[in-house]
Amino acid sequence: MSRLTNHNSYGRSPCDLNQLRFAAKSVGILALLTGLIYLRVVGLDSISAIRTGQWGQNSVILFFLMVVATLGLLCAWRLEALGGTIALVSGVGVGILTYLTFEENRLFTTFAYSSPFLVAGGLSLACWWRSRN
């Protein structure tokens, strides 16, 4: 006879949620570091555009969206639903804006700039979704 184990109502063990949360936190750290590097690069570009008189509205908006996405990743450490939603929505905004702004290698640039926020935000939302009762 086979032995059945008694898991929660969805057939998932609490260990699965801990592993998902560990993955979300690990990816969140990497996305946070990537976001800080991107903030430096885009911030310097925004400052130089403002100083030269070429008002770079796209670079300033991109900088603002990256600040919001990075703050969303920080928020996701304590409030998974709120931080994940902020990071995910800001990541979509970053992706759309980079696709419209950059001329060469659009798809790669869009993927590179938005994927850290999208993946980390999505994992945070998945943790929240699985932990709710």
pLDDT for 55: 63
- pLDDT single digits (tens) 112-127: 999 999 999 999 999 9
DSSP code string of the chain: --------TTS--HHHHHHHHHHHHHHHHHHHHHHHHHHHHHHHHHHHHHHTT---HHHHHHHHHHHHHHHHHHHTTT-HHHHHHHHHHHHHHHHHHHHHH--SSHHHHHHHHHHHHHHHHHHHHHHHHHH--
- pLDDT single digits (tens) 15-64: 787 888 889 999 999 999 999 998 898 888 777 777 777 666 777 888 89
